[in-house]
Amino acid sequence: MTSQAPKAAVVLLIISLVVSMMLSIKIHNGRDPVSVKTAKGGNSLFTAGFQKALSHFAWMRLIQLRGGMDKVTPERADILIKKYDNLTNLDPMFAKAYEDGALDIGWTKPEKSLELLDKAIELGQIKSWRLPFTAAFIAKMRLQKDPKNLERAIKYIELAANAPDRPSYVKRFEISLKAEVAKDETEVLDLWVKYYTGGSDRFVEMGGRGMGIGGDMEDDGSRRIALNRISKISASIINAAQTQLQGEKDPSKRQALEKRVSDTRKIASQVYGGSRICPKCFKPYQAGDRFCPNDGQSVTPYGICSKCGEVTRGAFCQKCSTPVAK
């Protein structure tokens, strides 16, 4: 070995170390910090890059452990909490583990269950609506009924409602939670109308028919539920306002109550696309109906030919072609 070789090696050592230092900074900055956090997990210090594979084995063992439990007692819940926590440290993106874990322990240890879900939500990488929905469900159903916990549930459900691909019942759950903290029924009505319109004025344009295309109205069930709620709340608001009107002497207050009645009527009518609605239950009735098909209330009939008495849905009588008022 010549003395030149070590000298060259020393020079090469220094150069390569400097270059590798520069590269390490560049790679570190080039990686998404959230994904690095995700990749490294919480306490996966000595897993030597095997944490993702190890998480599968931890998951399989957890399934076996859970399968052996007939009931999750508080003691068993503590064991499960630790297991789920370790598992999600190994793979912080394991959405199913968070969800199953939260539901497993949510009944006995709701706060711990929410901690587990918070861990996933704070990571901000899991786009599933299921996690905040489960959190909202646990906060609403399992925690003590007080305004603070309701606020927590609303915070979670808002996240779920804004997540992509969430089903329509998530939005309905959001409205029902917000309705609990709403200051009056008008605010609740507004929430349901907004839900029904899906953030647009399409319900006016389409006359309440043929909805179910995009927006919040994914299916006929959602549409029916929303319309039912709007009818019920409208009826309740108007009945309450009319009762108040009977005993009210103050002209300014009377004016406000009358305005509330007319505004609510207008909203209900608009929701049904200008269809005739029952003055009692605020549900639409068909041409020719003399009594509301929903509650039997006497209603003003329409769509009856003045000449031959035939019921028609169009603008002209189908029997004698006389124009019929809608």
Partner 1 sequence: MIDTADMLTICRTTYTRVLRTKSLYLLLASVLCLVGAAHLYTDLTCGRQKELMYDSGAALITLVGLLSGLMVTFDIARDLREKVALVLLSKPLGRAHYLLGKFFGVAYLVTINIALVTVGIMAILHWEFGGWKWDFLQVALSTWGSMIMVTALGVLFASFLTELPAALLTLVVFVLGHSWEFLARTGAGIGKILFCVLPNFCLLDFKSELGNTIGVSWGVVLMAVVYALVYSIALLSLSTILFSKRDLA
Tell me the closest approach of the beta carbon of residue 6 to partner 1, in angstroms.
Answer: 5
Q: Report CA-CA distances (Å) from 81 to 69, 90, 101, 135.
A: 14, 14, 7, 15
Neighbours of 116 (CB within 10 A): 26
CA dist., res. 235 & res. 300, Å (int): 17
Q: Is 311 in a helix, a strand, or coil?
A: strand
Tell me the closest approach of the beta carbon of residue 4 to partner 1, in angstroms.
Answer: 9
Tell me the closest approach of the beta carbon of residue 130 to partner 1, in angstroms.
Answer: 15
Of the pair 48, 325, the CB lying nearest partner 1 is at 48
Of the pair 124, 296, the CB lying nearest partner 1 is at 124
Of the pair 125, 244, the CB lying nearest partner 1 is at 125
Tokens of 247: 């005993």
CA dist., res. 123 & res. 323, Å (int): 65
Angle between helices 33-40 and 110-123 in degrees, nearest 10: 140
Amino acid at 49: G
Of the pair 100, 174, the CB lying nearest partner 1 is at 100
Four-point Cα dihedral 160, 162, 163, 165, nearest 10 = 100
CA dist., res. 224 & res. 228, Å (int): 6
Of the pair 3, 252, the CB lying nearest partner 1 is at 3
Of the pair 63, 181, the CB lying nearest partner 1 is at 63
Of the pair 35, 322, the CB lying nearest partner 1 is at 35
| Alpha helices, H only, the chain | 4-30, 33-40, 51-67, 74-90, 95-106, 110-123, 130-141, 147-162, 168-181, 185-197, 202-205, 220-247, 251-271
Tell me the closest approach of the beta carbon of residue 121 to partner 1, in angstroms.
Answer: 16
Interface positions with partner 1 (CB under 8 A): 1-2, 5-6, 9-10, 12-13, 16-17, 19-21, 23-28, 30-32, 35-36, 38-41, 45-53, 55-56, 59-60, 63, 91, 93, 96, 125
Tell me the closest approach of the beta carbon of residue 257 to partner 1, in angstroms.
Answer: 57
Tokens of 118: 């918070």
Tell me the closest approach of the beta carbon of residue 12 to partner 1, in angstroms.
Answer: 4
Of the pair 49, 74, the CB lying nearest partner 1 is at 49
Of the pair 23, 213, the CB lying nearest partner 1 is at 23
CA dist., res. 188 & res. 226, Å (int): 12
What is the 8-class DSSP label of residue 198? T
Tokens of 267: 């909203």
Tell me the closest approach of the beta carbon of residue 18 to partner 1, in angstroms.
Answer: 9
Tell me the closest approach of the beta carbon of residue 53 to partner 1, in angstroms.
Answer: 4
Residues with Cβ within 8 Å of residue 30, at least 6 apart in sequence: none
Half-sphere exposure of 306 (CA within 13 A, CB side): 6
Tell me the closest approach of the beta carbon of residue 125 to partner 1, in angstroms.
Answer: 7
